[in-house]
Amino acid sequence: MTFITAAASSAVQVDEISFFVIVVAAALAALAVAFFGSRVAIPVVVIELLLGIVIGPQILDFAQPDNFVGFFASLGLGMLFFFAGYEIDFQRIRGKALNLAIAGWILSLIIAYGLGGILAWAGVVLSLLYTGSAMATTAIGTLVPILSDAGEMRTRFGTYLLGAGAIGEFGPILLLTLVLTTTTAKNLVILIVFVVLAVLAAIAALQLAPRSWGAVERTLESSSQLAVRLTVVIILVLIAFASGLGLELLLGGFAAGMIVRLVVQGREVEVLESKLVGLGYGFLIPFFFIYSGMNFDLDSLIGSTEGLLKLPLFLVMFLLARGIPALLLYRGVLELRDRFALAFYSATQLPLVVAITTIAVEAGDMEVSTSAALVGAAILSTLFFPLIAMRLRSGRVEGDVDPDVELEREAEGFTDEPLPA
């Protein structure tokens, strides 16, 4: 169900119990991270997915993934990709870091599509497009808090990783949008119209920002919260517009994030960021991951030998698709140990894999067992790959500070507090 149809449907039944159970589950996920976070680095999205599986029809059957909950999950998905677009800082990720990131993702895509093609030829998967695209992603939003805690946000290594991660999110979104919407001339025109309108919106926002930012910023400490409300309007308008044109709503959220980032570039935005993070990660985004967990077909994964075999296969393919480019292309800028760390960080996946597999299953281009195995492999990558990478980088963070990053970020006035994932 699209964002528009979910919002407009008058037949949607409100299941208060399911809604309440999901809200409680989201709170429990945050409590678990707060309690175990100092001992084990488990991202909250993993716990939310697992709790969704537990409370959903597969196990306890406390909550149902109905259309009402699905509407909030759609909002959460849009908000998730708003932050994905917002996190792309092209003032920092430029030059060699950007060039290597683009080249690395193109090589990743070639490897991923090659692996996906082999799997499709062997009858293991239905579509190399969705499977290959899922393999060529990076969960940069999940990695940013981990990198910040490890002190990597100001290092040369961190700059290269942020570049690889940003393109690892932006590339698959752009690719899927192009492939899914350009099957006819009409769809191509629709996509072009959306891009043009998004660019015009960005230009208008940039023109208005210098004259109105002071007045908008003053409302952040008042009950009107104009900056937050305007941001929500931008997100919802672009999500609804993308969905209404037949595009994926994640494209609208991503475009909104990039527009807002351009508007606030160089301004003090800690207060605004904290409020948007509270709305997104505190309320809407957990709905998407818990809802995805509720729809997760556990029986397809553990109930058959095929499903169990696919999971480690996909995990290895994640590492091959994202790791080989890191080892090959970064030889001139990173030592071997750091390139292996970059490989494991880059192969950390989850949010985009969940989104891509959800789209693929709804389109009938992916079996439920394949979706479950891909998501299961992505969960394992998020649990273990960053730990391996941090171990490889142990003792190498100090002395690796990038002086250009220090000067740029001080001049821009951005906070180093990460957006959680």
pLDDT at 186: 67
pLDDT above 50 (res 10): no
40, exposed or middle or buried, with CB in 10 Å at 0-12, 13-18, 19+? exposed
Q: Which of 149, 147, 171, 155 is nearest to 88 (CA)?
A: 171
378 within some domain: yes
pLDDT at 322: 93
Domain range enclosing 314: 3-412
Q: Which of 85-94, 131-140, 231-240 has the lowest mean pLDDT?
A: 85-94
Q: Which comes out higher in pLDDT, residue 223 or 27?
A: 27
The answer to whether position 216 is within a domain reads yes
**What average pLDDT is seen over the chain?**
82
The segment with the largest mean pLDDT, out of 36-45, 137-146, 232-241, 263-272, is: 232-241
126 located within any domain: yes
User: Which range (239-253, 264-278, 346-360, 397-411) has the least confidence?
Assistant: 397-411
Position 345 scores a pLDDT of: 93
Residue 418 lies in a domain: no
Do the domain assignments include residue 421? no
Q: Taking 80 as the threshold, does the pLDDT of residue 247 lie above it?
A: no
Separation of alpha carbons 413 and 419, rounded Å = 16
What pLDDT does 162 receive? 87
Q: Is the pLDDT of residue 404 over 70?
A: no
Tell me the pLDDT band of 189, cut-offs 50, 70 and 90: confident
In angstroms, rounded to a whole number, what is the distance separating the alpha carbons of residues 45 and 51?
10
- Residue 24 belongs to a domain with what CATH number? 1.20.1530.20
Q: Which residues pair with 155 in a beta bridge?
A: 401
**Span 208-236, average pLDDT:** 80
At residue 270, does pLDDT exceed 90?
A: no
Task: List Cβ neighbours of 25 (8 Å cut-off, separation of 6 or more).
Answer: 48, 51, 52, 55, 63, 286, 290
Structure confidence at residue 284 (pLDDT): 92
Query: Is position 419 within any domain?
Result: no
Q: Is 420 a member of any domain? A: no
Q: How many domains does the chain have?
A: 1
- Asked whether residue 308 is domain-assigned, the answer is yes
Q: Global pTM?
A: 0.82
Q: Which of 92-96, 237-241, 380-384 is predicted with the least confidence, judged by mean pLDDT?
A: 92-96
Residue 97: pLDDT band (50, 70, 90) is: confident
